[in-house]
Chains A and B, each alone.
Chain A
């Protein structure tokens, strides 16, 4: 499953592969956010 990142500027989703620059392929913005998993996550309430 590819790992998709969201651009902090234009909101586009892109895949970034290992060794690739962290950069939006549409607008060249360099801040990319990792998507939250859609799996359930469990925490201890402590």
Chain B
């Protein structure tokens, strides 16, 4: 009872290991698994983006039916960097939809040549230059990044109006900004070199090969002839190496442990948001949820 609140609260820390165009790796420490999991789930399901939600067809005589094309359009990620400027259509003051809560995109392609015409995400023309298919961004203007929608033969035509709206991944996965959002515990792998030296070269090779994710490396042709840990982060705790060591009669050859208070996060973006923004938005959303609870509690106690 003598502990004060400030002694009990911890200060979670976040250390960034790597930021790339489409992914971020960071370590979250000084906190509980529940917080780490909340962060992961919010990054997947509650960070909003813009996505095509309604499609109005004027004509379509391509080989794909309207529903099929509408579904494909919905899955195209749109750049959502200014998602804060939009509101959800259900919260908007307009009666149907307006510029504040939606963006209109048009697709109007007709094939007039004898060879097939690929209709891709770059044929989608947006009325808002900030909300465009991710492949149409200036940074990635190579055609490999274009997302195919349908192929047209001579005489086939597709003409439609698509309406993008703001939404979150828990309503439909197309709105999720992250492709992968995972965390792992920090693995602690300690090799017992004395035991390894007792193995024959063939056994060493066999033991290194027993790891499915290639955590260890061993090169018999080098003068050092050492078994080394190449990348402990690859470990998936399958314990295959442990079992192999036991089959050699050397259970103390390797020591494996998970450090449960450090979470190594890997977040990959679909391109809709910058990976670091996904993390920042997610933290903001968790904070807002907590403040909401606090407010409700205070109200309830009156």
Chain A residues close to B by CB (< 8 Å):
36, 40-46
Are B55 and A42 in contact, with the CB atoms below 8 A?
yes
Q: Nearest CB to that of A39 among chain B residues?
A: B58
Chain B residues close to A by CB (< 8 Å):
51-59, 61, 66-67, 70-71, 73-74, 162, 172, 174
User: What residues on B are CB-neighbors of A41 within 8 Å?
Assistant: 56-57, 66
- B71 is contacted by which of A36, A40, A42, A45 (Cβ under 8 Å)? A45
What is the minimal beta-carbon distance from A3 to any residue of chain B, in angstroms? 19
Taken together as a complex, chains A and B put the C-alpha atoms of A43 and B71 apart, in Å, by 9
Taken together as a complex, chains A and B put the C-alpha atoms of A21 and B17 apart, in Å, by 73
Are B58 and A43 in contact, with the CB atoms below 8 A?
no
What is the minimal beta-carbon distance from B101 to any residue of chain A, in angstroms? 16
Are B53 and A44 in contact, with the CB atoms below 8 A?
yes
Q: Nearest CB to that of B51 among chain A residues?
A: A45
**Contacts A45-B162, A46-B172 hold; do A40 and B74 have CB atoms under 8 A apart?**
no
Taken together as a complex, chains A and B put the C-alpha atoms of A45 and B50 apart, in Å, by 13
Are A43 and B66 in contact, with the CB atoms below 8 A?
yes
Are B172 and A43 in contact, with the CB atoms below 8 A?
no
Are A42 and B58 in contact, with the CB atoms below 8 A?
no
Are B74 and A45 in contact, with the CB atoms below 8 A?
yes
Are B66 and A46 in contact, with the CB atoms below 8 A?
no
Are A42 and B53 in contact, with the CB atoms below 8 A?
no
What is the minimal beta-carbon distance from B150 to any residue of chain A, in angstroms? 14
Q: 16 pairs across A/B with beta carbons < 8 Å? A: A36-B59, A36-B61, A40-B58, A41-B56, A41-B57, A41-B66, A42-B55, A42-B57, A44-B54, A44-B55, A45-B54, A45-B55, A45-B70, A45-B71, A45-B74, A45-B174
Report the 8 A-B pairs with minimum CB-CB distance, sorted nearest first. A45-B74, A43-B70, A45-B70, A45-B52, A42-B56, A43-B55, A41-B57, A40-B56
What is the minimal beta-carbon distance from A40 to any residue of chain B, in angstroms? 5
Q: Nearest CB to that of B76 among chain A residues?
A: A45
- A43 is contacted by which of B54, B59, B61, B174 (Cβ under 8 Å)? B54
What is the minimal beta-carbon distance from A34 to any residue of chain B, in angstroms? 14
Q: Nearest CB to that of B60 among chain A residues?
A: A36
User: What residues on A are CB-neighbors of B52 within 8 Å?
Assistant: 45
